[in-house]
Amino acid sequence: MRTIICDLTRAQLEATGARFDAAVTREDLAAAHDCAGCFGCWVRTPGVCVIRDSLGDLGVLIARTKELWIFSQNAFGGFSPLVKRALDRSIGYLHPNFRMANAQMHHRLRYPDHELTISCWLYGPSTEAERACFGRIASANALNLGARLAGIWFPADELGAGAEKNAPAVPAAATQPHAPALPRRVALVNGSPRGARSATAQLLGDFAEALPVYARMAGVGRPELVRATRAELLEGCDVVLIGYPLYVDALPGGLVELLERSRGVISPGTRVYALANMGFYEAEQIVPSFSVIENFCAGSGARWMGGVAVGAGGMLGAIAKSPRMGMLRRGVSEAIDRLIMAVLAGSDAGEGLARPGVPRWAYRLAAEAQWRRLAREHGADLDARPADAT
């Protein structure tokens, strides 16, 4: 079975001549909600999203798919907000518990006997940096899904989505030198759909204590905030710190949409930093997503200044009340302090890595025990395989 996920209308998809058995098109994506970050597809209705809209059974659809084709307009070297919405909503296909692959933590496969291949088309103008970024994200997607990546293509427009030949790359914009300066207006962007309840909010709160804050933006993943005037809060800022959780190896779909809306709002020369976290232990897995923000900066005239990636983010809430420089929080706190100093100095922060002070085996044991407990509380079977139901 071949399934296509795309931000094309059904008419545009049919015009490409691509053959498919099932398709999730622009009409379906536009009518659906962004991922709420509630993990209900793991602990309340395992394998099925609790949001009952056009994407509610996407995890089941993928489990019944042999070939998954993804067509997306280029968004800074990543998937477009609509396609990312679908990918974020697909995590019920996976099991919340962990496995090791390539010496890194990933989610277990809910359907370990399922063979899946993925092919990706990123259409529209793209720079070499954006293409390299997309290649890393698509490869990470395939690894996490236990799938084989069949290929990546870069057609010039949506009607060439099935083309085998790459379109010419667009030259990257030249960067200009800058003089360090103490920030006057700082915007803290909380890109987590969970808003104030998120690990992202906790990290940004730690950061905010040391800086004058021009704007705080909670829950930008929620459509009503993204589509309103949130992007306008970035206008006139000389520093923007983007906080976010890693969702399906990249920025959450709502945050990508915010960046698209900010492209004509953010002032040229604005310094942009990132403070990201993820549920896996190894913070290194976050770093490829920084390239999406870097590409956004290149296209908008802003300056990418680096950031901090925090692994084992699922532990942050549990240790929030422990001493900031105690054994559990020290590594993360020191990384945030270095980021604060870079922002105040107007300097490049590089790509810092941090995680709470617990060994991997202890983190994994605690996280998996929590998933089991939550599933029991909801009377759910964590190991359910709804795609197998007749």
Q: What is the CATH number of the domain that holds 121?
A: 3.40.50
Whether residue 374 has pLDDT greater than 90: yes
The answer to whether residues 55 and 27 touch, using CB atoms and an 8 Å cutoff, is: no
For residues 248 and 331, state if they share a domain: yes
Closest alpha carbon to 363 in 245, 255, 282:
282
- Is 155 inside any structural domain? yes
Same domain, 17 and 134: yes
Torsion, Cα of 89, 248, 355, 307 (10° steps) = -110
Whether 20 maps to a domain, the answer reads yes
132, pLDDT greater than 80: yes
Beta bridge partners of 68: 3, 118
Instruction: State residue 359's pLDDT score.
Output: 94
pLDDT value for 91: 96
Residue 232 near residue 267 (C-beta atoms within 8 A): no
Is 380 within a domain? no
Q: Is the pLDDT of residue 222 over 60?
A: no
154 and 283 part of one domain: no
User: Which CATH number fits the domain that encloses residue 228?
Assistant: 3.40.50.360
pLDDT at 158 over 60: yes
Does residue 175 sit within a domain? no
Would 133 be classed as within a structural domain? yes
Q: pLDDT band at residue 170, thresholds of 50, 70 and 90?
A: low
SS3 281: coil
The band of 236, judged by pLDDT with boundaries at 50, 70 and 90, is confident
pLDDT tens for each residue of 45-74: 999 999 999 999 999 999 999 999 999 999
Least confident of 28-42, 224-238, 256-270: 224-238
Tell me the pLDDT band of 387, cut-offs 50, 70 and 90. very high
Residues 195 and 282 in one domain: yes
pLDDT at 194 over 70: yes
Q: Please say whether the beta carbons of 248 and 90 come within 8 A.
A: yes
Question: Is 152 in the same domain as 234?
Answer: no
Residue from 7, 18, 114, 19 nearest 61 by CA: 114
Q: Would you state the pLDDT for residue 113?
A: 94
The reply to whether 114 and 72 lie within a common domain is: yes
| Residue type present at position 239 | V
Predicted local confidence at residue 185, as pLDDT:
81
Q: Which of 239, 221, 208, 238 has its CA nearest to residue 230? A: 221
Residue 177 predicted with pLDDT over 70: no
249 SS3 class: coil
Query: What domain count does the chain have?
Result: 2
Residue 371 in any domain: the answer is no
3-state secondary structure of 206: helix
Handedness of CA 239, 199, 279, 193 (dihedral sign): negative
- Band of residue 209 on the pLDDT scale cut at 50, 70, 90: confident
Q: Are residues 36 and 114 in the same domain?
A: yes
Residues 339 and 196 in one domain: yes
**Is 190 within a domain?**
yes
SS3 content of the chain, % helix, strand, coil (to 5): 35, 20, 45
On whether residue 64 sits in a domain, the answer given is yes
If asked whether residues 69 and 155 sit together in one domain, one would say yes
Q: 48-52, 142-146, 177-181, 321-325: which range is least confident on average?
A: 177-181
219 and 326, same domain (yes or no): yes
**For residues 278 and 247, what is the distance between their CA atoms, to the nearest angstrom?**
8
Q: For residue 1, how many other CB atoms are within 10 A of its CB?
A: 11
CA trace torsion 330, 334, 336, 341 (10° rounding)? 160
Instruction: Assess whether 124 and 28 both reside in one domain.
Output: yes
Supply the range of the domain harboring residue 106: 2-160
Q: Which of 34, 121, 39, 49 is nearest to 85 (CA)?
A: 34
Residues 262 and 136 placed together within one structural domain of the fold? no
Residue 264: per-residue pLDDT = 83
